[in-house]
Amino acid sequence: MHQFGSALSGVGGEKRPGIVHRIDKDTSGLLVVAKSDAAHHGLAAQFEAHTVDRVYQALCFGVPDAADPRLRGVRGVSFEPGGVVKITTQLARHKTDRQRQAVLFQGGRHAVTRVQVAERFGDHAAQITCRLETGRTHQIRVHLAHVGHGLIGDQTYGGRRKLSAKAMGAAAEAAAAFPRQALHAGRLGFVHPVTEEALEFEMPMPGDMVTLRDALRDAGRRSE
């Protein structure tokens, strides 16, 4: 708004000028903002058709390894080549807590997340890549919690889970003190709605997640 003033798309109204999609509060990373109504409608159509490439980086408890036999017993989980864990459920607002989303298998809205381990820190935590097929509210966070690998720092879905101080040392303290869900929207790809040029944008993980990742990496090496 500071840069473009009234030149942004008016589709979202005065409170959300140009905003085509959202990321969760305290999630870092990329957003696309439309300067014209035509661009806004064209981008929104791509999000609706699930053709936008949306890739997130996250730090989670445990290791969502496709070879883990426990995952094969979790409803909604399937597997794809390359060690990809595919999570397919319905999502809807929680019946008693309207600030949360809940996993359903009837009703709600269709949601698909693909998860792949980028780096494991012993058996205690992992850096994961999450690709959204759909983009529902809190989707990655609730899906990872559903399969038993909630995000570090997630006060809504992470529960009271903690890393072992004995095994992970100072990294356990760093994880416990992390002030937000460790989730970053790192890549966004779409077709320009006017020129039809394929565009892709990337943003590296922010410093707080890098610091935590490095602490987990060091602790994971010591625990092996």
What positions carry a catalytic annotation?
Answer: 24
- Extended beta strands in 94-197, E state: 101-104, 109-121, 125-132, 183-191
Tokens of 157: 């879905």
Tokens of 210: 């890098």
How far apart are the C-alpha atoms of 181 and 130, rounded to whole Å? 14
**Which amino acid is residue 159, in one-letter code?**
G
In this structure, are residues 122 and 167 in contact, taking their beta carbons and an 8 Å threshold?
yes
Contacts of 149 (CB under 8 A, 6+ apart): 60, 61, 62, 63, 64, 126, 128
How far apart are the C-alpha atoms of 64 and 84, rounded to whole Å? 9
